[in-house]
Structure 1
């Protein structure tokens, strides 16, 4: 849908330290900074894209892109973040700046757009995203948002993450900073939850948040705030009342957990729900940080029961998958977390992508693979195919953009990235992943595609 106390310098909120190791989430003192995208290279993920990835799953809020309409369309609905109710965040609001707006300024257009959204949809909050264009022409977006918030009586949150300032990881971090500055701590829960936990960096891709929440409920752990998968704006306002934070496979938001620990005294840990072992560790770590012995016993009983059930259900799939070789090409922390799940299924990872991984992510990958595993820092489809051929891999596990390359090369393929429609988190998720892998490997299309055409067979009829 296209709709017609700031700082003097629109780039002032983007501090130099945002580009250092902490922005990537690495704790190494001399690790490389977040990679900056090349001009015009939006497909790899810019800061604007990263900010939207973090905040768009707040389903009942309105999200307004202040810039050309192409910025709004760049990543709109490209992720499978599902909602259990509100759908307002799926509206593609944009101010649609024209050439005249760029010359004479677009602040009035921004004000009118905010007023329209507030009057037409009455959202609990409006997030306004800066883009490369509005940052370059010096739009005082912070001042417009502050004035509109006071006049309309609803939070209007500026998100200063224009694309040219850095990578998608940096955009994730800047969105987390916006939540901490404008949202977290501004509300109180309707009822006291003495043992509440926040999940940071889980975006409910294909409904994975629901799988995790179900496990937490079975263990008696209260999910206080989702940051931000299937979230509601109000629940994030009281995230400061949690007793523990879990950073779910999202190193870029580690800074948010650190700042909440410093500001509110909330302990945190990093974990994953890909694979039975990682899921068990995460649930036990939650109970440990909550310091409740009875909850720890419930978690132990739950995880033991689920692991035994899963081990039984996985037997027929492990027989087929044992010894299979896979090339895994996905970004960031998902690489090491998915490797853990694949190892439990008996699959050997012979090639792994590290293009968006921090130094610590690469170390975790190294701890989970063999010494002869090939690392793929960059290169795209051609490099992946080369690795598959050289390592004689049986299957490619990557993002949806590589699916058609795999089909063309007659390589079994499973989508693991944000575009997928299957949830792989938790115990049920691992079973679901095993089924997908077996279905892909055993699909009869591969035998048909590799067999000679009917007219090339020796026993073909005479013409």
Structure 2
């Protein structure tokens, strides 16, 4: 536990974070996240954050050493995609019970579970995650993992991020520490080249990195490791031989990028693949870093040719949507890198940003928003559901882009909504992804259902009396019979 405490303090003291450097020593030790309130939903715990970062490593078995509910609440909580192995979709847990805790059988049960996974699946590695229960009872996860690795001849990686130690963002960083300590640098590639790069913080949600990778392939740039999206254990183990790196989400793995730069001289920059301009800038920055690391400068020219071709194609496709979306107002209730990258992307086609959340954004993210929007009046740290509903019901936005947790606020306000977070069903990265994002926004805003749901309900309409048409003798006789049976008088029914 003392080692874990020391590791947490080290993660809090992040030199690559400008905001962290500006604090005094005492404030730096407290980290960036607000203290968790017992019993309150805090947006995920450290265990959840570590699992989010590591689970998309597709050929690894992820074993949760905890009671069953811990795995049930965290398994497959992001829509990452795999181009091959499916082992990461299988749920493994030691299913610790009260009797195991009382009798001290946790470590024995963990060792047995590792052996069973090895015999049944033969993965290249097993990642072991303790949670609150197993950390509190003092199970020595690292000792068990070390013994199992020696016994079974495979990598068994302890991921020390029990939920009670902090927030989901802290868990992201602890997952990066586990990769640094136990995985990266443990294997040597036999095909290292001057055009190898790492992509950090890319989760391949809905397979969107597959829209970017072909662009890099056309430039002769090889992604040595994409961490964690669609990753393989061997690729990550050899990631220390890359020549440059791009960080997609700084709040998650900035510590990993910095320490890889310190240990193996892999320079990095923070960028985004959302939007046409940002995608082009990312490709340029990658090429420039590689040239600084010794690659042939001719790659700079080839990069500009590729960018010119792809931008021309994308803008031609987007031209059809501009008349329909120009001037439409967007409310972004997301965070992190999307707080500025999506803003920039939507403004490129003439849409107006009425607000963007910066709840999970870094100081650098906020500065980018100010540069893009020219002020900070449209930024908000968080907005209560009541305020969101009031803003949407007063028609201050034509569409809201957010995660699934706030979709029902938009639907109640009868406002179009589009999922922009990890549960989304469509890829939005790269040039083609930008076209897809705009297409989905257009479909959502101009969906005819909104005209119908905004109309008054039939039971709210005032009845109207219509002039009675002349009846034939047979109709009059029939009506009299009905009146006698029902004991009522005839009436006319209105309609909306």
Contact preservation (8 Å) 2:393, 2:415:
no
Partner of 1:397: 401
Moved more, 23-32 or 392-401: 23-32
Residues 451, 370 of structure 1: alpha-carbon distance in 2 compared, 3 angstrom cutoff: farther
Q: Distance in 2 between matches of 1:56 and 1:447?
A: 42
Please report how far the alpha carbon of residue 333 of structure 1 lies from its aligned counterpart in structure 2 after TM superposition: 2.2
Q: Distance in 1 between matches of 2:357 and 2:198?
A: 29
Residues 218, 42 of structure 1: alpha-carbon distance in 2 compared, 3 angstrom cutoff: farther
Q: Residue 326 of structure 1 aligns to a residue in which SS?
A: strand
Contact preservation (8 Å) 1:67, 1:130:
yes
Compute the RMSD of aligned alpha carbons. 2.1
Contact preservation (8 Å) 2:392, 2:410:
no
Contact preservation (8 Å) 1:249, 1:337:
no
Q: Distance in 2 between matches of 1:42 and 1:179?
A: 28
Q: Deviations over 1:281-335 (max 9, x none)?
A: 0001111111132211111001011111111110121111111111101122221
- Residue ranges of structure 2 left out of the alignment (5+ in a row): 467-491
Q: Distance in 1 between matches of 2:15 and 2:277?
A: 28
Q: Return the index of the structure with the highest Cα Rg.
A: 2
Contact preservation (8 Å) 2:63, 2:94:
yes
Partner of 1:221: 221
Residues 306, 422 of structure 1: alpha-carbon distance in 2 compared, 3 angstrom cutoff: same
1:95 aligns to 2:94 (yes or no)? yes
Q: Residue 314 of structure 2 aligns to a residue in which SS?
A: helix
Q: Deviations over 1:327-353 (max 9, x none)?
A: 101122221121111111212221111
Residues 83, 52 of structure 1: alpha-carbon distance in 2 compared, 3 angstrom cutoff: same
TM-score, length of structure 1 as denominator length? 0.93
Q: Distance in 2 between matches of 1:173 and 1:257?
A: 11
Contact preservation (8 Å) 1:23, 1:169:
no
1:437 aligns to 2:441 (yes or no)? yes
Residues 295, 67 of structure 1: alpha-carbon distance in 2 compared, 3 angstrom cutoff: same
Partner of 1:57: 56
1:306 aligns to 2:310 (yes or no)? yes
Q: Deviations over 1:425-463 (max 9, x none)?
A: 000010000000000000111100111345627778751
Partner of 1:18: 11
Partner of 2:472: none
Residues 459, 207 of structure 1: alpha-carbon distance in 2 compared, 3 angstrom cutoff: farther
Contact preservation (8 Å) 1:351, 1:387:
no
Q: Deviations over 1:64-100 (max 9, x none)?
A: 1111111111121221100111111111111111112
Partner of 1:109: 109
Q: Distance in 1 between matches of 2:232 and 2:16?
A: 26
Residues 430, 443 of structure 1: alpha-carbon distance in 2 compared, 3 angstrom cutoff: same
Partner of 2:413: 409
Please report how far the alpha carbon of residue 10 of structure 1 lies from its aligned counterpart in structure 2 after TM superposition: 6.4
Residues 25, 402 of structure 1: alpha-carbon distance in 2 compared, 3 angstrom cutoff: farther
Partner of 2:22: 29
Q: Deviations over 1:214-246 (max 9, x none)?
A: 111122211111111001101111101101011
Q: Residue 210 of structure 1 aligns to a residue in which SS?
A: helix
Q: Distance in 2 between matches of 1:182 and 1:460?
A: 80
Q: Residue 14 of structure 1 aligns to a residue in which SS?
A: helix
Partner of 1:156: 156
Contact preservation (8 Å) 2:18, 2:363:
no
Please report how far the alpha carbon of residue 38 of structure 1 lies from its aligned counterpart in structure 2 after TM superposition: 2.5
Moved more, 210-219 or 152-161: 210-219
Partner of 1:388: 392
Q: Distance in 1 between matches of 2:269 and 2:331?
A: 29
1:122 aligns to 2:118 (yes or no)? no
| Equivalent residue runs for 1:240-319 within 5 Å | 240-291=240-291, 292-319=296-323
Please report how far the alpha carbon of residue 382 of structure 1 lies from its aligned counterpart in structure 2 after TM superposition: 2.7
Q: Distance in 1 between matches of 2:15 and 2:395?
A: 35
Partner of 2:469: none
Q: Residue 273 of structure 2 aligns to a residue in which SS?
A: coil
1:192 aligns to 2:192 (yes or no)? yes
Contact preservation (8 Å) 1:23, 1:170:
no
Runs ≥4 in structure 1, deviation > 4 angstroms?
A: 20-28, 457-462
Q: Residue 178 of structure 1 aligns to a residue in which SS?
A: helix
Q: Residue 170 of structure 1 aligns to a residue in which SS?
A: helix
Contact preservation (8 Å) 1:59, 1:87:
yes
Partner of 1:5: none
Q: Please, which of 409, 421, 426 is the counterpart of residue 422 of structure 1?
A: 426
Residues 348, 299 of structure 1: alpha-carbon distance in 2 compared, 3 angstrom cutoff: same
